[in-house]
Amino acid sequence: MRFCKIVALVVVAATGLFVVACGSDQPDSGTTTTSAGSADGADLYNQSCAKCHGVDLRGTAKGPSHLSIVYKSDHHSDDSFRSAARNGVGAHHWDFGDMQPVEGLSDADIDAIIAYVRTVQEREGFEDYPPAP
């Protein structure tokens, strides 16, 4: 049982990485970290992802909602989020175009973002895919 909880936490942490799909056009002003050295996922998401994926994770005209059922961990794993942030990803579920890599994020930043996204997904639930017109 404890092993399952640890695995679940690792999955949650990795998912936040995908959330960084759309980078900001703003120059990097540096990343704020806590005294323990871990980045605040919500702040990092707002700096690096919200422009395309929305401050509420519900998407914009530039990028999809991270609350879509498509982004559940059983379809887009944390590793998928991490790879998208690091390497970019070709459009495959949406008509927003390809996502470019997100520059300026450390592995810890990406993990914090994934954890934040998974926390919001758990709290808010998921939207249908395709979205209702």
Tens digits of residue pLDDT in 24-49: 443 333 434 333 334 599 999 999 99
Count: domains in the chain? 1
Residue 72 lies in a domain: yes
Who contacts 10 (Cβ-Cβ below 8 Å, separation ≥6)? 78
Confidence category of residue 125, pLDDT binned at 50, 70, 90: very high
Residue 102 lies in a domain: yes
- The span from the CA of 113 to the CA of 100, in Å, is 17
Residue 63 lies in a domain: yes
Residue 131 lies in a domain: no
Residue 18 lies in a domain: yes
Residue 132 lies in a domain: no
Residue 129 lies in a domain: no
CATH number at residue 105: 1.10.760
- The span from the CA of 73 to the CA of 118, in Å, is 8
Tens digits of residue pLDDT in 57-108: 999 999 999 999 999 999 999 999 999 999 999 998 889 999 999 999 999 9
Residue 103 lies in a domain: yes
Q: What tokens does 10 get?
A: 């690792």
Domain that holds residue 34: 2-124
Residue 1, pLDDT score: 53
